Structure 1
Amino acid sequence: MSSTYQTPQRQILDPKDMSKWLASSAYGDIVSFVEQLSQGVQGKRVSSVGALSPQVEGIVRLLSRAESWISEYPPDMTASSRFGNKSFRSWEAKLQQQAEHLQRDLLPAERHDAAPELAAYLVAAFGNATRIDYGSGHELSFMMWLLCLCKIGFLEPSDSVAIVLTIFRLYIQLCQQLQRIYKLEPAGSHGVWGLDDFQFLPFYFGSAQFIGSESTPAVSLDQGFIDREGDEYLYLQGIRFIGEVKRGPFFEHSRQLYDISGVPRWEKVNQGLGKMYKAEVLGKFPVVQHLVFGSILSFASS
């Protein structure tokens, strides 16, 4: 990995740039990374994660610091809008102000020069301060941040299960807090094209966790099963969050997830969601247009 880091820049400025994106080195790296993480958590429960490496523990502390800022910027109770509490802008401004410092606290001294490049992905991972919204493009930015940490050698292959079941799980929980407290709007009119208003990858990774188990996807809508096992599976945690924030019959407000519960095997669900992620997240201009690219994740052709 080159030590010549750079501030990442937008490259997908027009729908015509999508062909360059799909042929880029970054696209190939992201697809491989997400697929490998999914394979790595097959059959794994959250509680099966062993001792965390110092690097993973450092990221856990980073997320905890970001969470602590919520108390510094409570929601503006004078705001009349049902969505988009303006106090989120203060939380996001704090993140932007602290991002490079957080990277330097995390990284060894010989990697401090990567801090500005990494910070760009972290800042973009929690939502948009102007629109006060959050969606799958922000979730993707967090995965790109983790991928950068892998590519510079900070995270090791042995951390792969913890990347999903510890780091990513805590990230999603923090994002859900931000969504509740600051009433973030879904980015885009259909969220992830109808799968969920905010997240996608908890369902992809979560379906992999069930591979090899005796259960079928029907258990994802069994409230008793969710109550017993919800903390162990990202898929169930995603369903549980939807139940907390939406009202009405599940089959009406979450039709795709309802239909998925009728698929006979988790392997087929996982394969289908992997294809859907490439088509409906990575393959959609409105989702990827704000992504940035630098020296670690290159927009050059692979």
Structure 2
Amino acid sequence: MDTFNAGVVDVDEFEFKTPRKAVTSVVDMEVWEKSEAYVEYVGFIIAMNEVVKSKPLRDLPDTPISRGVCDVLEVLDKWIDDIPPIEQPQRFGNKAFRTWCVKLKEEAQGLLHKALPSKYYRAVPEIQEYLIESFGNATRIDYGTGHEMAFCMFLCCLFKIGAFTTDDSLQVIFLVFNRYLELVRKLQTVYKMEPAGSRGVWALDDYQFVPFIWGSSQLIENPRIEPRSFMQEDVVETFHKEYLFLGCIKFINSVKKGPFAEHSNQLWNISAVPYWGKINQGLIRMYKAEVLSKFPVIQHVLFGSLLPFKIFNQKKQQVGAKAQQEN
């Protein structure tokens, strides 16, 4: 966590800016993989991975910011009930989702003003763009790992501005991210959203990836649940509320028919790996290779002042971290 949090900014002095897309060609991917944004984002994923290691989901006391963000997600959930699917010829991609997205874009700033103390309002025009991108594409009515990544970047930015601190890390995953997963599953189901992009044979799941990483970390050294156990329906049913990984499996089982080995071949293969620690490290490598290194995903990523599209300067960060520790 120390490396990741070395970049916390002074919200009173920092110059925020509205994030924009920057990866416009495959050539730009080389800059992305050496950028401050990449280092910060991967640092966030790995830091949270360590925080949840061997810990089941459980009720935790709210922190003011975690409660505020969860309240935002509750409002967005209610909007789904207020904006029901419309009658339309095609089975997938219900156009009512576009109405939901318009409402989010119009009200995101106000929602975040309610969620955050006023000292963070200067950051809202930047971080709200990540929130808006977190739930799917209104034109294509699809959702995928890029949208999931936008929400993780939103959380990362809340750490960067100091709204979340390392002491809030478990709340961020157990309360906020878990609530986000419940919301996007409802969106996917109610509006019949398409998986974003073409689903290659590498894909773990039609929609998510990060909860498999953090969820496998939760299961490391678990005395009762081995990797092969997630193929057993009774194990999934008993423990899906305690482990993100099993929550994902339960959702897959509820929406897919036929043999698991056919509709979720990569996950089926993973079940044969003997240790959760090995699965966890493999999934991190896979995420870097199959999501973070794929132009079709990264072309949609937004870059601002908190997650900038510029080459990471390790020496500069070390100097900044040292100064921060001295203060």
Is residue 13 from structure 1 mapped to residue 24 from structure 2 by the alignment? Answer: yes
Match of 1:264 in 2: 274
Q: Structure 1 residue 294 and structure 2 residue 304: aligned?
A: yes
Structure 2 residue aligned with 1:253: 263
Whether contact under 8 Å (1:121, 1:144) holds in the other structure is yes
Cα distance in structure 2, aligned partners of 1:276 and 1:19: 18
Q: 1:267 to 1:133 in 2, by over 3 A?
A: same
> Does the alignment pair 1:55 with 2:65?
yes
Distance 1:139 1:117, change over 3 A: same
Counterpart residue type for residue 19 of structure 1: E
RMSD, aligned α-carbons:
1.1
In 1, Cα distance between the equivalents of 2:30 and 2:91? 38
Note the C-alpha offset of 1:191: 6.6
Partner Cα separation in structure 2 for residue 193 and residue 88 of structure 1? 28
Q: Deviations over 1:258-301 (max 9, x none)?
A: 00001000000000001111111111111111111111111111
Secondary structure of 2:91's partner? coil
1:3: how far off?
A: 2.3
Residue 26 of structure 2 contacts residue 295 of structure 2 at CA under 8 Å; is this kept in 1? yes
Counterpart among 186, 189, 200 of residue 180 in structure 1 = 189
Q: Kindly indicate whether the alpha-carbon contact (under 8 Å) linking 1:9 and 1:294 is maintained by their aligned counterparts in 2.
A: yes
Name the CA distance, whole Å, in 2 between partners of 1:50 and 1:90. 34
The runs of 5 or more residues in structure 1 that have no matched partner are: none
Residue 117 (structure 2) aligns with: 108
**How far apart in 2 are the matches of 1:195 and 1:212?**
22
2:248 alignment counterpart: 238
Shift of 1:96: 0.5
Corresponding pairs, count: 300
Give aligned-pair identity as a percent: 44
Alignment gaps of 5+ in structure 2: 1-8, 313-327
TM-score (norm 2): 0.90
Q: Partners of 2:268 and 2:238 in 1: how far apart?
A: 20
Following the alignment from structure 2 to structure 1, what is the Cα–Cα distance between the partners of residues 229 and 200? 24
Give the equivalent residue in structure 2 for 1:152: 161
Corresponding residue of 1:280: 290
Matches of 2:234 and 2:265, distance apart in 1 = 21
